[in-house]
Structure 1
Amino acid sequence: MRVHDLLAMPELGLDVLVPDSHRDPTIRWVVTTDMIDPSRYLTGGELVLTGLMWRTDAHDSDVFVRSIAKAGVAALAASKDGVVPPDLVDACRRHGVPLFLVAATVSFATVTETVVRQLSTGRASDLRSVLDRHRRLVATAGGSGLGPLLELVAEELGLDCAVLTPSGRVLAPTTPIPDGIRPETLARAFLTARLVPHVEQGISLFAVDGDSASRVVDWIVAFGSDWQSWPPERLALAEELVAIVALERERTDDRLGVSGRLAQQFVRSVVSGERVSEQMHLIGLDEASRYVVVAASVSGGTVRLGEVRYLLRDLLGGEPAIGVVDGEVIAVAPTSDDITAGVARAVTRLGPGLIDSDLSIGVSGVVAAGELRSAVEEARQARRLAARRTDDVRVVGHDELATLVLLLASVPDDMRQLFRSRLLDPLRVYDASHQSELIPTLATFLDCNGSWTTCSERLHLHINSVRYRIARIEELTGRDLSRLEDRVEFFLALRMT
């Protein structure tokens, strides 16, 4: 209730001595005191009742009113035998505290009981309103998805917001994100923030499932203002909305639902080479469409294998069929386009959230439904190649499988290790003993197609120094880098590291 509401309660017998200065503060509770400085027992918003037992002279009035004003009380109601001294009135005017005179015929107990009853009734009404709103929001979310839910919130609660994925894909806005602010910028700010909620360019970013999900696979609710300036009621409503969006996010995780189980069985059947025409029909995939298969895996870090399902949904969009087979997440997505570059760009945007996770992704070419089995093998082979890379973004597409790298990937690990050791171990031992850089020099020399000048410029060395190092490499390994065969063998050994 507000201070002005006291005047609408004649049973209190209150007369205004110092009117409110247009602030009309909210009364949170009622406190009775006869201490000259009760500030340590006040938290703000109280209606203070006092019988003036603390007053001995005019100076005491200033001390008392200054202390309660500093504590942020809503108003003061006072009486001593139905009278208030003029110095108390003056002090309230100076410090901007509304002052009421309590009639001699009304006890402080009556004032307290009446106001507290009114406060309790108001809070019960607010609670019913919140619960009713919550039921409406849940019903909306369950029936039509996020769009109508956020429209209802914007219309009735004044909370303009959007839901984003960590790659910057917008799932459901109520209003466009302001011009000049890219969704990818907000997503990156979310991934790199030390704590959430986080404010970026005046937009508040909340994690939807921050307690149990890795941030890189979570959803983001972006509100169009700074949450730190909100009153408690608005913050509570925002948190309520975030909780309901979390329910929608959970609904999209179909692992335990019928559609998820059917997709899992479909993927397993494709991997096994079984006929899948009937299964495609059951999960809504058209045999006449064309498809891309994506294989992904993760090791180490905070991202779990099961969460890679969320990540692939974010990267691919739409409704791909996703299953987990032998430690790999495999997605079959309908498309007529090569999506390798788009997946690589999205993974780059997710980079800040993947720093400690070894994520590798392979992407097949576009195939007809009858070629899904070969596309799965292509995607899995590409993923294995990606896992051997040291790049920050380890995404390999089908086009790279036509290169020499495919041959390297087919060589057994023990043979690869033996070949690599015979060629490079003498150089590693020499580098370790002499703090030289023969292996980096060799790699640069081959990358420059054997050009002494280009290699020296790239290494910032005199050309004679480069010649000396190459001679030392040839001496230690017994190879001749002027011969194409020896250059190719060194190239292969370096690619196997």
Structure 2
Amino acid sequence: MFTLASLLEDESLGLSVLVPGPPGALEEPAAWVHNTELPDPSGYVRRRELVLTNGLWDDRIAASGFVANVQRAQAAGIVFGLRSERPTTPEDLVAACRDAGVPLLEIAAAVPFTAISEAVATRYTEERQGALVGMVRRGDALATAISRGAGASGVLRVLRRDHELPLAVIDRMGRLLASAGTELDTAQLHTVATGLTRRPPPLELDLGAAGRAALYLVGAVGDVDAALICLRPVSELTRVEQDALDQAARFLSLEVAKQQAVQAIELRFASELLEMVLSGGSRDAEVPGRLRAFGVDPEGPLAVWTAAFAGPEATLPGLAEVIGEFFVAAGVPVVVAAGSQDVVAVLSWRQGEREAALLAERLAAAVGERFPGHRAVVGLGGTARGPAGLREPLIRSREVCRTLRRGGAGPAVRTFAELGPHRLLLGTQNAVALRTLADGVLAPIREHDARRGGELETTLRAFLDHDGHWQATAAALRVHVNTLRNRLAKISELTGRDTSRTADRVDLFLALQAADMV
């Protein structure tokens, strides 16, 4: 882009101002130059082009009409070229430009219009060369920042060397990865995260008091993982600024991909730790080393917590990362492993159960803030004196979490001891004993269901959940009471336990609980 003022500074063009136009008009960017002698060039002149003319139209249209047509095309102004036949600019053209507020320049007869075209082309070439050089230089700086581990903050620092823009990098979980020249509150971060879930994501968002912000999407593996936010609308950004932001967003994709790879390795490493704890045996010796790799002291007391969302949707992408961030912020060394139905945390813990419950409630609240509309629950499995004792707290914490998920609007945090004596009893048994109890009672029912596509186990669970009430159970299953009676009779026949007797109901209930725990 060029301006009329920049052309006036070039003495070789021999330009002079006859009508400056409105204040600041000479400093407004112009798009290009357009040489025309048409009475009405409005159909050909593009917006912000500078019209060059010798006035050969004056025998077909009045000066005021020509100026009106130029103004309708939203041209940047008019340059009138003097000739030997017309050594001065017509007064009626000067008057028409003054009345219409259209800038009017005069060029000497000795200077051809091609001199202006060449000057403008030279400026464009210099501008594009400068932009290209700047992009290459900035690309080198961005690559250096990424390779040296400067992260998203390093990318923003490089970007702000040339452009003083208010910037932030926010991921799809609403986490602020970096910022420069601006501060965003929790609501604004959530607005961006919500916008990134749309398909397609928006290129601008209204951030309330911060105004409209331009979004430059950052994707690592074919999906939108984050966004580079500029707290200005796109309409207020120059082409050079837009190109710089787009370039920075591409380099941020490399940084996000690197972070995702590291997180994937850490989550896999943590998941293998849980497998070692649950399997026991020959892999017990590997557990202390895995704990040390995450900064957890294997020689000290170790607590196991399990978190999930209440209701059918137990986990969501990013839950493990949010939980890990919480413990880091709290200064608690931890290993966080994501499962299909929960997220398990093994942490160093030297305080009591009361302090654990208070921190767990803060964790549930923090997760709820990051995932609006979802209620987080946390099961505390107790502590172990070293890696060898982790298995039972792990099983207990998962059982507590599973119970809380089904508990509706109950407490968000509970310990295993608060669940009831029957779970305490089952919690003292190993996996083999629990599986033996469950299979010994439930195997005939499950074989029948698998062979005939029946729902005997579902019916038994519903019957016990409704305390043996026939009408309530039938309503929950949406079957007739007689159908329910027939199913329970079949259960009694297969298991040898009468669902109407308390002792037999206890056997059936404990078998179901044991099955859930293993």
Q: 1:397 to 1:300 in 2, by over 3 A?
A: closer
TM-aligned CA distance change 1:361 to 1:106, over 3 Å: farther
1:275-305 residue CA offsets vs partner (Å, 9 max, x unmatched): 311233345443356555445589998x996
Q: Which residue of 2 aligns with 1:281?
A: 292
Matched, 1:403 2:410: no
Question: How far apart in 2 are the matches of 1:348 and 1:322?
Answer: 18
Indicate the residue corresponding to 2:463 in structure 1: 418
What is the rounded CA distance, in whole Å, between the counterparts of 1:379 and 1:213 in structure 2? Answer: 36
Q: Percent identity?
A: 22
Match of 1:29 among 15, 24, 32: 32
Match of 1:249 among 256, 261, 264: 256
Q: Is 2:20 aligned against 1:15?
A: no
Structure 2 portions without partners, runs of 5+ = 427-433, 443-456, 479-499, 501-508, 510-518
Matched with 1:340 is 360
1:461-472 superposed matches below 5 A: none
- Count of residues paired in the alignment: 425
Maintained 8 Å contact 1:167/1:347: no
2:113 pairs with 1:97:
no
TM-score if structure 1 supplies the norm length?
Answer: 0.67
Q: Deviations over 1:392-425 (max 9, x none)?
A: xx99534266224985999986432232468455
Shift of 1:131: 3.0
Q: How far apart in 2 are the matches of 1:27 and 1:406?
A: 82
Change (3 A) 1:198 1:264: same
Inter-partner Cα distance in structure 1 for 2:221 and 2:38 = 49
Structure-1 residue corresponding to 2:275 = 268
1:378 and 2:396 correspond:
yes
- Contact 1:382/1:396 (8 A) holds in 2: no
Paired residues of 2:267 and 2:338 also in contact (CA < 8 A): no
Alignment of 1:209-358 (within 5 A): 209=218, 218-219=225-226, 221=228, 223-225=230-232, 229-254=236-261, 261-273=268-280, 274-275=284-285, 276-288=287-299, 290=302, 292-296=304-308, 307-313=318-324, 316-317=327-328, 321-325=335-339, 329-332=343-346, 338=356, 339-352=359-372
Distance verdict in 2 for CA 1:297–1:418, change over 3 Å: same
The corresponding residue for 1:121 is 126
* 1:129 Cα offset (Å): 1.0
SS in 2 for 1:97: coil
- Residue equivalent to 1:62: 64
The letter for the 1-side match of 2:402 is R
Tell me which amino acid in the other structure corresponds to 1:385: T
Which secondary structure state, in structure 2, belongs to the residue aligned with residue 254 of structure 1?
Answer: helix
Indicate conservation of the 8 Å contact 1:33/1:48, yes or no.
yes
Aligned counterpart for 2:137 among listed residues 115, 118, 132: 132
Report the residue type matching 1:403 in the other structure: L
User: 1:365–1:398: 8 Å Cα contact kept in structure 2?
Assistant: no
Counterpart residue type for residue 91 of structure 1 = A
Cα distance in 2 for residues equivalent to 1:244 and 1:90: 55
Structure 1 residues 222 and 382: CA distance shift in structure 2, 3 A: farther
Q: Secondary structure at the match of 1:253?
A: helix
Amino acid at match of 1:130: M
3-state SS of the aligned residue for 1:44?
coil
Q: Secondary structure at the match of 2:415?
A: helix
Distance in 2 between residues matched to 1:298 and 1:403, nearest whole Å: 16
Match of 1:111 in 2: 116
Over 3 Å counting, the alpha-carbon distance change for 1:254 and 1:288 in structure 2 is farther
Q: 1:48 to 1:162 in 2, by over 3 A?
A: same
* Alpha-carbon distance change, 364 to 150 in structure 1, aligned in 2, over 3 angstroms: farther
* SS of the residue 2:165 aligns to: coil
1:159 and 2:204 are equivalent in the alignment: no
Shift of 1:126: 1.5
Aligned letter for 1:77? V
Paired residue type of 1:144 = A
Cα offset for 1:136? 1.6
Letter in 2 for 1:157: H
AA aligned to 1:202 is A
Structure 1 residues 124 and 304: CA distance shift in structure 2, 3 A: farther
Cα 1:224–1:140 change in 2 (3 A) is same
Offset of residue 350 of structure 1 = 3.1
Which whole-Å CA distance do the structure 1 matches of 2:43 and 2:186 have between them?
48
- Separation in structure 2 between the aligned mates of residue 205 and residue 365 of structure 1, nearest angstrom: 48
Q: Following TM superposition, by how much is the alpha carbon of 1:335 offset from its aligned partner in structure 2, in angstroms?
A: 6.2
CA RMSD, aligned part only?
4.7
Aligned partner of residue 136 in structure 2, secondary structure: helix
Change (3 A) 1:122 1:168: closer
Alignment CA distance shift 1:419-1:75 (3 Å): same
Contact 2:216 2:229 in 1 (8 A): no
1:194-213 to 2 correspondences below 5 Å: 196=202, 197-203=204-210, 204=213, 206=215, 208-209=217-218
Matches of 1:254 and 1:125, distance apart in 2: 36
